């Protein structure tokens, strides 16, 4: 069940060791024998100096008590336990303790656009047709019914809302990053972006080009529908940004994190969406298979990259990134590939996850500092007989 998987992830995170904990364990493995030798030496010296067994034993025990490595041993797991538990309450699953440390170094967050920055639910926004509109939607939606793409779902939904009867297409060929072609009721239909239409040698008039440019400047994804060698319609679909995304972007920018949007859209549409939500950098026309390469390119520039995505084609990028943040409303494979799972699509969870991870890591660092500091300060006092065992225990 989903609940058992969540419980397993939280338990795994709490049971794993952060790099800081491994350091503390190594220090403890050296620290404990040294303290035992020091405690024995303290007892022997005091016995020789004072000749009192009780005094020698008291000071020797004080050294052992004050140097008890519990503080070192608990510094990390206690913070991890609280951090991961609090994350689960907020809908954030950290898969390992190491994630808390890696999040601290992230200086760039790359967002997949569709389904992460936007809702992932595309709707038909505008239609300009040179033929009967019902005829256009019947042919286009019938062809798109063979695809699972969000644009295809928007077109088929629009046709269903009109009460149109759809046919089963044949010879369907999906062209990733371009569109789809096939045969509907004996008519060869192509639905795709302007680049695809140009590539098959179809003539595009200045009026059509102007309409496409106008829609794209408003952040619409535009597709042309064509059959019998001519363009028959221009369809604009919109995938609205999530309501809270602009606020989340502002908060991340205030944390000195660079923000990047990764999308397959053309530059005009991509920049319109990015400007709407406040993202300054855009990697556009990135095909699904190229997302991991886009993340690698950022890493080669010296950036420590977190990638936020939700789809099957995001899994390689989530794995390539220094920190993969999978939106839990997405696919199982994306969730499996991510280091952090956000159980809802609310973009504010990205902000919360970064803050919580950084706060947890800061707590670990503070715990380790005070554990080392009071040991370094108090062991000499105990050895010199200036620290009563009851005070050392406190």
With both helix axes pointing from N to C terminus, report the angle between 348-383 and 53-66 in degrees, rounded to the nearest 10: 160
Say how far apart CA 307 and CA 252 lie, in whole Å. 14
Residues 6 or more apart from 50 whose CB is under 8 A from it? 56
Task: Confirm whether 112 is a catalytic residue.
Answer: yes
Say how far apart CA 140 and CA 137 lie, in whole Å. 5
Q: Exactly one of 112, 265, 284, 346 is catalytic; which is it?
A: 112
Say how far apart CA 113 and CA 285 lie, in whole Å. 12
Strands 187-192 and 179-184 turn out to be antiparallel
Residue-level length of the chain: 394
Q: Exposure string (b/e) for 353-362, b if CB count within 10 Å is 16 or more?
A: bbebbbbbbe
Say how far apart CA 69 and CA 51 lie, in whole Å. 30
Contact assessment for residue 224 and residue 194, using Cβ atoms and an 8 Å cutoff: yes
Say how far apart CA 90 and CA 151 lie, in whole Å. 32
Residues 6 or more apart from 319 whose CB is under 8 A from it? 292, 337
Q: Exposure string (b/e) for 62-75, b if CB count within 10 Å is 16 or more?
A: bbbbbbebebbeeb
Q: The tokens of 270 are what? A: 């991509």
Residues 6 or more apart from 272 whose CB is under 8 A from it? 216, 217, 218, 219
Say how far apart CA 70 and CA 212 lie, in whole Å. 67
Q: Exposure string (b/e) for 26-58, b if CB count within 10 Å is 16 or more?
A: eebeebeeebeebbeebbeebbeeeeeeeebeb
154 exposed, middle or buried (CB, 10 Å; 0-12, 13-18, 19+)?
Answer: buried
Which amino acids are annotated catalytic? 112
């Amino acid at each position: 069940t989903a609940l058992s998987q969540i419980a397993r992830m939280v338990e795994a995170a709490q049971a794993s060791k952060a790099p800081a904990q491994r350091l503390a364990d190594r220090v403890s493995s050296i620290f404990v024998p040294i303290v035992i030798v020091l405690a024995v030496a303290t007892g022997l010296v005091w016995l020789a100096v004072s000749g009192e067994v009780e005094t020698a034993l008291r000071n020797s025990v004080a050294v052992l008590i004050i140097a008890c490595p519990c503080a070192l041993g608990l510094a990390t797991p206690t913070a991890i336990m609280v951090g991961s538990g609090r994350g689960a309450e907020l809908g954030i699953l950290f898969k390992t303790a190491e994630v808390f440390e890696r999040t601290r170094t992230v200086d760039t967050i790359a967002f997949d656009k569709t389904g992460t920055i936007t809702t992932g639910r595309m709707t038909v926004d505008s239609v300009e047709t040179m033929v009967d509109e019902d005829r256009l939607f019947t042919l286009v939606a019938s062809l798109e019914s063979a695809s699972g793409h969000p644009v295809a779902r928007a077109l088929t939904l629009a046709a269903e809302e009109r009460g149109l009867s759809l046919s089963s297409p044949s010879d369907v060929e999906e062209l990733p990053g371009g569109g789809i072609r096939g045969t509907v009721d004996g008519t060869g239909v192509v639905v795709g972006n302007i680049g695809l239409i140009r590539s098959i040698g179809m003539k595009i008039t200045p009026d059509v080009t102007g309409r496409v440019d106008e829609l794209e400047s408003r952040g619409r994804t535009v597709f042309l529908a064509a059959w019998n060698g001519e363009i028959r319609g221009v369809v604009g679909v919109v995938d609205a940004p999530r309501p809270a995304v602009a606020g989340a972007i502002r908060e991340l920018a205030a944390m000195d994190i660079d923000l990047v949007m990764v999308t397959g859209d053309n530059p005009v549409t991509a920049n319109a969406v990015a400007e709407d939500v406040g993202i300054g950098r855009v990697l556009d026309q990135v095909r699904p298979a190229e997302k991991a390469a886009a993340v690698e390119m950022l890493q080669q520039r010296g950036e420590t990259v977190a990638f936020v995505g939700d789809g099957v084609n995001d899994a390689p990028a989530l794995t390539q990134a220094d920190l993969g943040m999978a939106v839990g409303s997405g696919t199982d494979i994306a969730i499996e590939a991510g280091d952090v799972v956000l159980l809802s699509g609310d973009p504010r969870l990205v902000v919360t996850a970064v803050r919580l991870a950084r706060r947890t890591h800061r707590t670990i660092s503070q715990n380790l500092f005070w554990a080392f500091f009071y040991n370094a300060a108090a062991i000499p006092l105990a050895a010199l007989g200036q620290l009563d065992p009851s005070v050392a225990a406190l």
